[in-house]
Structure 1
Amino acid sequence: MGHGLVALARAGHPGPTLVVTAATVALAAAVGRGPAALVAVGATQLTTFLSIGWLNDYLDASRDAAVGRADKPVPTGAVSRELVGACAVLAALACVPLSALSGPVAGVLQILVLAAGWGYDLGLKATAISVVPFVVAFGLLPAVVVTGAPGVPLPPLWLVVAGALLGSGAHFANVLHDLRDDAATGVRGLPHRLGAPATRAGAAVLMLVASAVLVLGPGTPSPRELVVVALAAAVLAYGLASRRRRVLAGAVQLVALLDVALLLVSGAALR
C-alpha cells in the first residue's frame, strides 16, 4: 500500500505542487494572514494542483506510454489510470469548500485557477494559446492570497502581472524538456510552434520582466532590489549563452526563486 501511495503522489507532480503551495502560504504569511488562514491557503493550493497534476497524468497515460516515460507511474503500472482520474475529481471537489474559507471573492478566483489548469490538461496544451492557462492561473494565485487578507479588498495590478509572467516563464521552461516527446505524440502548444531557440529566449525574458515588475511595481526600488534584478539578468544571460538545456533550466529555476523572494518582500509591503 505504501508503494501505491508514493506512486499516486508522484502522479500528482509533487515537486511543482509543493513549491507552489509553499510559495502561496509564505505570501499569505507575508501579507498578515493568521494561522488558520495559512492552513486554509495551503490545503486549497495542495488540492488544486494535485487535481491538475492527476488529471494531466490520467489524460496523458497513452502518450506517456508511447514515448516510454519511465518517470511517470501510470504508464509503468505503478498506479492505475482509473485511480488517478478519480483522485483528480475528488481533489477538485475538495478545492471548492476549502477555497471558500478565504472569502467569496478569493474562492471564486481560486476556482478560476483550477479551471485554467483543467483547461490546459483537457486540450489547450496542444494549441497556440497553451500559455493562456498559465497567465490566468498564476496571475490569479497571488490575487487569491492577497484578496483574503484583512484590509486588502483587491490585489494591485502589478502583483497580478508579475504572477502571470512567472507562470508563463515556467511554462516555456518546462516544455523545453518535452519538446521531442510532445512532437512525437501530436502536442503542439505555443512553445512547440515557436521552436526551441525562441522558447529558451522567451523563458528567460519572461522571468526577467517578472523580476522587474516585482521590483518596480510597489514603488521606488531599493538598491538591494536592483542588485537582485541585475543578478537575475546575469544568471539568465549565462544560461542562454551556454546553449545547454540543463544550464538554462537551472538558471530559470534560480531566477524563479529570486522572484519568489521578491514576491514575499513586495507582499509584506501591502500590509
Structure 2
Amino acid sequence: MGTPEHTTAGGGAGRGSGLVTGLGRACHPGPVVAVTTLTAALAVIAGRGTEGCVLAWAAVLAGQLSVGWCNDAFDAGRDIAEGRRGKPVADGAVGAGQVWTAAYAALALCVPLSFLNGLWAGAVHLVAVGAGWAYNLRLKATRWSWAPYALAFAALPAFVTLGLPGRPWPAWWVLGAGALLGIGAHLGDVLPDIRGDLVAGVHGWPQRLGPDRARRLLPVPLVAASALLVLGPAGPPGRRGVTALVLVLLVAVTGTVLGRRRERLAFATAVVVAAVDVTLLLGGTGMVPA
C-alpha cells in the first residue's frame, strides 16, 4: 500500500502527551464515540451479556480507530498542501508516519478481537472494517463512495447478533435501516466539505451530486430508514412508531425547505431524524432473537 502522504511534520510535537493528543484528534473521535456507544447499546438489547458486550465494544473500537487513523494518514499530503486547519497532521501535532503506524496497529488488534466474538461475527465485522479502509484508500473519490457506508452500517447489528448462541441474523428491516442510515451518514459527513472537495479533485457520489442536490437528498435515506423501522416488524405499527414517523417527516420537510438558505439547518434536522432512527432501532424487536 502506497503512502505518499508520509511526512515528518510535527516530529517534535509528537512526543509523550503531544503524540497522544495528536493521535486522539486524528482518529475522528466523534464517530468513534458514536459508533462504539451504539454498538454497546445494541449488544445490551440483544442480550450479549457483560462479556459479550465488552468484546463487541472492544472490537468495534479497534476497527473504528484503524479506519479513522487511516483516513487522516492517507489524506495528510492533501491536507498539508491545502493548509487545512483542524487536521492534526497538517497542524504539525503528529506525523503522518505515526498515524499510519497507529492505524496498522489498531487493525492488527481488531482481527483477534473480532474473532473473539465468534467466527461469523468476526468475519462480518472485518468485512465492515475493510469497507472503511477501501473507502479511505480508493472509493471515497468514486461514484461508489456510498457503498462502504451502507455495508458497514448494515454489518454492525449483524456483528452483534451473530455473536449470540445459534448465530442469528437481525431482522431484514434492521439490516435495511442500517444501510440507509449509512448512506445518510455519508451524505451528512461530506455535505459541509463538498465545495472544497471538488476543488481538490475528490469526486465521490455526493460531490457529483453537488451541494444543493446532496442537501435535498440528505433526509431521504434517513426517513426511509424510519419507515423501515416502523413498518418492517410484523403487525400494525404502534402509536409510538407512527408518532415517530410523522415527526421525522415534519422535521425532514422543514430542513429541506429552510435549508435552501441555511445549510447548517438542513444538517441539524438530518441529525434529529438520525437520532430518532437510532431510538427506534434500540427500542425495536429486530435485534432480539425470536
Which bracket does the TM-score occupy, shorter chain normalised? over 0.9
Partner Cα separation in structure 1 for residue 166 and residue 281 of structure 2: 19
Query: Do structure 1's residue 259 and structure 2's residue 259 form an aligned pair?
Result: no
Please tell me whether the aligned partners of residues 150 and 179 of structure 2 are also in contact (alpha carbons under 8 angstroms).
Answer: yes
Please tell me whether the aligned partners of residues 157 and 287 of structure 2 are also in contact (alpha carbons under 8 angstroms).
Answer: no
Query: How many aligned residue pairs are there?
Result: 271
Query: Do structure 1's residue 121 and structure 2's residue 136 form an aligned pair?
Result: yes
Which of 240, 244, 259 is the matching residue for 1:228? 244
Partner of 2:211: 196
Partner Cα separation in structure 2 for residue 262 and residue 179 of structure 1: 30
Query: Do structure 1's residue 218 and structure 2's residue 236 form an aligned pair?
Result: no
Query: Do structure 1's residue 86 and structure 2's residue 92 form an aligned pair?
Result: no
Give the partner amino acid of 2:82.
V
**What is the CA-CA distance between 1:131 and the residue it aligns to?**
0.5
Give the partner amino acid of 1:185.
A
Partner of 1:73: 88
Partner Cα separation in structure 2 for residue 267 and residue 53 of structure 1: 31
Partner Cα separation in structure 2 for residue 261 and residue 113 of structure 1: 22
Please tell me whether the aligned partners of residues 139 and 167 of structure 1 are also in contact (alpha carbons under 8 angstroms).
Answer: yes
Residues 268 and 191 of structure 1: CA distance in aligned 2, closer, same or farther (over 3 Å):
closer
Residues 267 and 80 of structure 1: CA distance in aligned 2, closer, same or farther (over 3 Å):
farther
Partner of 1:206: 221
**What is the CA-CA distance between 1:153 and the residue it aligns to?**
1.9
Please tell me whether the aligned partners of residues 161 and 287 of structure 2 are also in contact (alpha carbons under 8 angstroms).
Answer: no
Which of 237, 243, 246 is the matching residue for 2:253? 237
Please tell me whether the aligned partners of residues 33 and 150 of structure 1 are also in contact (alpha carbons under 8 angstroms).
Answer: no
Partner of 1:130: 145
1:4-52 CA-partner distances (Å, limit 9, x unpaired): 2122111000001110110011011011110011111111111111111
Partner Cα separation in structure 1 for residue 73 and residue 285 of structure 2: 36
Partner Cα separation in structure 2 for residue 267 and residue 114 of structure 1: 26
Residues 221 and 151 of structure 1: CA distance in aligned 2, closer, same or farther (over 3 Å):
farther
Partner of 1:23: 38
RMSD: 1.3
Query: Which is further off, 128-137 or 236-245?
Result: 236-245
**What is the CA-CA distance between 1:149 and the residue it aligns to?**
2.4
Which of 109, 113, 120 is the matching residue for 1:105? 120
Partner of 1:143: 158
> Highest CA radius of gyration, 1 or 2?
2
User: Structure 1 or 2: larger helix share?
Assistant: 1
Partner Cα separation in structure 2 for residue 213 and residue 268 of structure 1: 11
TM-score by length of 1: 0.96
Matches within 5 A, 1:162-201: 162-201=177-216
Please tell me whether the aligned partners of residues 236 and 252 of structure 1 are also in contact (alpha carbons under 8 angstroms).
Answer: yes
Query: Where does structure 1 lack aligned partners over 5 or more consecutive residues?
Result: none
Please tell me whether the aligned partners of residues 172 and 199 of structure 1 are also in contact (alpha carbons under 8 angstroms).
Answer: yes
